[in-house]
Amino acid sequence: MELLEGLRQRKGSVNGGKGAKKVEEIKSCDQKDFKEVSAEARRTDLEPGTYWLTRIVFLRSLGFIYFVAFAVALNQNKQLLGKNGLLPSDLYLKKIDEHFDDAGWTKVLHVPTLLLFTDKTKIDEHLDILAYTGMTHPPIRMCKHDYYGLTVGSLSFYCQHWAKMVSWESQLLETGFLAIFLCPVFKLQQVSSYTPTPLVVVWGYRWLIFRIMIGAGLIKIRGDQCWRDLTCMNYHYETQPVPNPISYFMHQSPEIFHKCETLVNHFVELVVPFFIFLTRRFRIWCGILQILFQVILIISGNLSFLNWLTILPSLLCFDDKSLAFLFSSSSAKREVIRIQYLQKTDATASKPTWGLCVRRVFELMLGVVLAYLSIPVVQNLLSSRQAMNTSFDSFRIVNTYGAFGSVTKERTEVIFQGTRNLTVIPDEWGGIWEEYQFKCKPGDPRRRPCLISPYHYRLDWLMWFAAFQNFQYNPWLIHLAAKLLVNDEQATSLIAHNPFSNGTPPLVIRGERYLYKFTRIGSKEARSGLWWKRTRVGPYFPPLEITSRAVRDYLKSHGWRVPKLKKTNNAPRT
C-alpha cells in the first residue's frame, strides 16, 4: 500500500507542476509502474461499484449457454422443424406468407425470423447453417455484433411449437438482447476504460431476475392450493417433466422436509428479489441465494438450461470487488485496479469521449424502451389473472415468466407400442407388442432416470405435456407414429430404442397411457431393480396402420407427406 500511495503522490506532483507531460504519458507511466504493486495491494485496493470483471464472467457464461442452445438445435431441429420433420417449418412459413400476403416488414414484425428470407425448399440446410453459426462463436471474447447475430439466430428458431412451449427460449432471447448493449462495439479487450459496463444494462438484468422470481412466486401462490398448503413438493419430484436420479431420492424425503422446501421456495421467490433494490450488501446476498437456489434445481431435475440461464442475471448483483476472487492476479484484475486508480487520481481520465457520448445516448434510449415494454409486464404481475411465460412484443425483449403454477399430482406417460404379429378379434387387437423407448422420459420401469442438464430433448419434454392432454391437441404424435411405422431414420434418431430396428417395421403402432409412480427405497420393487411402478390407464390413440386410408387422409389434411413403406418391408399378417 505504501508503493501505491507513492504512485498517487508522484501523479499529484506531475499534475500540479507545469503540466509538461501529456495525459497519455501519465497513463503509460502508471501502467508501467503499476506492475510493481504487490499482489496483496492489488487485492485490497479493488473498489466496489464497477462491473468490468462481472461483465467478463457474465459473457463467458452466456457464451456457454448459447453453445448448448445451438447444439440442441443442430441435433434436433431437422427432425422436428425440417422439411420432413414432425412439424415442418416450410409449411409454417408458407402459411405466414399467405396470411400477410408478402407484406414486407409487417410480416417480419409479427414473425421475426431469418427463415422468412430463405429458400423454403432448402430449409434443412438453413437450419444447420444457423445452428453451426451459433455454435462456432467464441465464448470468451465477443463484441456487440456477435451477440446481435446470436440473438437473431436464436430468435429465428423461436417460430413454432417446439420452442414456444418452454420458457427458456424467450428468456434466452431477452438475455441475449441485453448482452448486445453490454459489449463493446468493435473492441475485443476484456477490460477497456473506453467501454465501461452500462448501468442501464446492469439494472436491466436485475429487473430481469426480479421478474423471473416474482413471476414464479406469484403464479404459485395464485395458481395451486398445494403451494399455499405447503404440500406441492410431495409431488413435484415425481411429476416434473423429466426427473433425474436425484429426483428419485428427493421424492422419498419426509413430509416435514417437503414443507420446509416449499417455505424456502416462497422466501427465495417472493422476498429475496426485493433485496436487489436495497444496499450493496443486500444485493450480494440476493445473488448468492438466487444462485444457490438455481443450483439446487439443477441437481434435482432435468430442466434443460433454464436454471443455468437464470443464474446469469443474478451475476449482475455482484460488482468487481465481490467477484475479484475468481481472477486471482490476472491481467484483467490488474487492469481494473489501474482504471480505478486513474479515475480517482486523474480528472482527465474520466473525461467522456465522443464515442462514449454516443454510447450513452443509445443506453438512454434502451432504458426508455425497457421501461415502456415493462408496462404490460407489470400489469400482468399485478393482475389476479396472471399469465406466465408470455411475451407482449414479437421480439421477446421484455417478457413475463413463471414456472409450475400448478403441480400435477399424478404422472401419466404415453407409451408407444408396435407389433409385427397381429391378430384381430372383435373389439380387440391381439399380438406381441413391443415398446419404443425415448431418450429421457420414463418408459421401461427398470431404466434409471437420465441426467442430461443443461442439454435438452425437445420431444421428450413435449411428450410430458401430451400425456395429460388428448392426442387431438397434439396431432404431431400421429405424424411420429406414422414415421415409426416405416422406420423413418429422422424419427428413430429422436428415440433411444427402436424394437424394430432390424429393417422390418411394425404393422401397427398404438399409444397407451400409463400411470407412473416412484418405487419406495428398500421396497421389494426397488430391490428387484425397479425405479418406477406403473399401471395401465387405457388407450391414448387407437392402433394405426400406414396403409390405412384414415391415417393417410389425416396426414394429408395437415399438409404432411405420407411416409413411404418399402415393399420389401411388408410382412404378412398372422
Q: Of the given ranges (53-67, 122-136, 216-230), which has the lowest mean pLDDT? A: 122-136
Distance CA 238, CA 246 (A): 11
How large is the average pLDDT for residues 401-416? 92
Q: What whole-number percentage of the chain has pLDDT above 90? A: 51
Cβ(161)–Cβ(197) below 8 Å: no
Average pLDDT, the chain: 83
pLDDT tier at 181, thresholds 50, 70, 90: confident
What is the pLDDT, as a whole number, of residue 146?
47
Cα dihedral 78, 83, 85, 87 sign: positive
Cα distances from 47 to residues 50, 278, 335, 351, 391, in angstroms, run 8, 19, 13, 20, 39
What is the pLDDT, as a whole number, of residue 347?
59
- pLDDT tens figures, 428-452: 566 789 999 999 999 999 999 999 9
Closest CA to 479 of 124, 79, 123: 79
Query: Has residue 39 got a pLDDT over 50?
Result: no
123-135 and 89-100 helices, crossing angle to 10°: 100
Q: What single string gives the DSSP state of each residue in 118-177?
A: S-GGGHHHHHHHHHHHHHTS-SSS--HHHHHHHHHHHHHHTTSHHHHTSHHHHHHHHHHH
Domain limits of the chain?
Answer: 52-382, 411-558
Distance CA 204, CA 360 (A): 15
- pLDDT tens figures, 211-253: 999 999 999 999 889 999 999 999 999 999 999 999 999 999 9
If one compares 527 and 343, the residue with the highest pLDDT of the two is 527
How large is the average pLDDT for residues 491-510? 92
pLDDT tier at 10, thresholds 50, 70, 90: very low
Query: Has residue 143 got a pLDDT over 60?
Result: no
Distance CA 113, CA 396 (A): 12
If one compares 132 and 262, the residue with the highest pLDDT of the two is 262
Closest CA to 375 of 211, 164, 173, 206: 211
pLDDT tier at 283, thresholds 50, 70, 90: very high
DSSP state of 211: H
- The identity of residue 318, as a single letter, is F
What is the pLDDT, as a whole number, of residue 21?
44
Q: What whole-number percentage of the chain has pLDDT above 70? A: 80
Query: Has residue 204 got a pLDDT over 90?
Result: yes
Query: Has residue 523 got a pLDDT over 60?
Result: yes
Q: Of the given ranges (195-199, 518-522, 538-542, 555-559), which has the lowest mean pLDDT? A: 195-199
Q: Give per-residue burial for 76-90: e unless 16+ CB within 10 Å, then b.
A: bbbbbbbbbbbbbbb
Q: Which residues contact 446 (CB under 8 A, 6 or more apart)?
A: 529, 530, 531
**Pairing state between β 428-431 and 399-400:** unpaired
Element housing 236 (H / E): helix 233-239
pLDDT tier at 360, thresholds 50, 70, 90: confident
Q: Of the given ranges (209-213, 239-243, 511-515, 566-570), which has the lowest mean pLDDT? A: 566-570
Q: Which of 8-12, 346-350, 385-389, 556-560 has the highest mean pLDDT?
A: 556-560
If one compares 173 and 318, the residue with the highest pLDDT of the two is 318
Size of the chain, expressed as the number of residues it contains = 574
Strand ranges (E), 277-402: 390-391, 399-400
- pLDDT tens figures, 286-342: 999 999 999 999 999 999 999 999 999 999 999 999 998 888 767 788 888 888 887
Cβ(228)–Cβ(221) below 8 Å: yes
How large is the average pLDDT for residues 500-526? 93
pLDDT tier at 503, thresholds 50, 70, 90: confident
Closest CA to 457 of 247, 245, 302: 302
Query: Has residue 396 got a pLDDT over 70?
Result: yes
Query: Residue 382 phi/psi, 5° resolution?
Result: -85, -10
How large is the average pLDDT for residues 390-419? 89
Strand ranges (E), 271-364: none
pTM: 0.86
pLDDT tier at 18, thresholds 50, 70, 90: very low
